[in-house]
Amino acid sequence: MTAKLIDGKAIAKRLRTDVAERVRMLVEGGGPQPGLAVVLVGDDPASQIYVATKIKQTHSVGMASYEYRLPAAIGESELLHLLDRLNHDDTVHGILVQLPLPPHIDVAAVLEKIDPCKDVDGFNPLNVGRLAVGGQGLVPCTPLGCMMLLKTVHADLAGMDAVMVGGSNIVGRPMARLLLAEEATVTVAHLRTRDVQGLCRSADIIVVAAGSPGLIRGSWVKPGATVIDVGINRLPSYEGKAALLVGDVAFNEVVQVAGAITPVPGGVGPMTIAFLLSNTFQASKISFQQKT
């Protein structure tokens, strides 16, 4: 048996088309052109690629994009000052500070500075708290993307056993909260978890965001389970072959056991950016409604 491939690329494209249509209707109805400010500090190569893709796709759905590339040595207070300015700029509806930041900058202070209404990453503690208690707020993009992919396989997640491998603030924790909100039974596994393999083997759903190439082996997966791979690992080029992008799942093994699986690339990655656009649209629409 081979697993059904969950085509994130196609699903993300449909979502982007939908966002573009909603942007068009908002502007035709007298609303603002949604604007997203992207802040990149330093010259991390992977971050540069992500930011360039985010900017290109922002334009493709009819939104404005404002780009701030700052040197790695920038002081924290200067960055906070820029965020203050963007918070008060009416043409900016969404603000994204690409992570990771250089070690001399306090990430928590930066995320707290972003106006929660413009926090399209959903990383400000107010939005984190709203998600935790089931309130209305902006929700992190990658977990939203994972949920949409999961829903193409399981319309109802209630009572399913889900394991989230990885407990980061960007993916693992918010993903666990979304799964719990859908009434799945959720376990978060992390570096100190004693038997990740055993937990995975009994799960109906495995979501992995561990940053560890090929961590989830075929023998770890219950036959028929759904596996969502958030990992994006760049393996270095060797013997003249181009650098390879691989996930946290040993795809060739797991595809023979799982019921459904996301590929890397073309699975979760495109969904993250599509939801960034969707969140930016949501932020601009709410801001417009509050003003009228």
Contact residues for ligand GUN, defined by CB under 6 A: 96-99, 121, 141-142, 170, 272
Of 115, 119, 121, 248, catalytic? 121
Alpha helices in the chain (DSSP H): 8-28, 45-60, 76-87, 107-113, 125-133, 141-151, 172-181, 196-201, 251-254, 268-291
96 or 128, CB closer to ligand GUN? Answer: 96
Give the nearest distance from C-beta 10 to ligand GUN in angstroms: 21
Q: Is 197 a catalytic residue?
A: no
Give the nearest distance from C-beta 100 to ligand GUN in angstroms: 7
- Shortest Cβ contact with ligand GUN: which residue? 99
Q: Is 98 a catalytic residue?
A: yes
Give the nearest distance from C-beta 140 to ligand GUN in angstroms: 6
141 or 257, CB closer to ligand GUN? Answer: 141
Q: Cβ neighbours of residue 175 under 8 Å, at least 6 residues apart?
A: 142, 143, 146, 147, 164, 207, 209
222 or 272, CB closer to ligand GUN? Answer: 272
Q: Is 74 helix (H, G, I), strand (E, B) or coil?
A: coil
Residue 5 amino acid letter? L
Q: How far apart are CA 278 and CA 16, in angstroms?
A: 8
142, 120 Cβ separation under 8 angstroms: no
Q: Is 54 a catalytic residue?
A: yes
144 or 203, CB closer to ligand GUN? Answer: 144
Give catalytic residue positions: 54, 98, 121
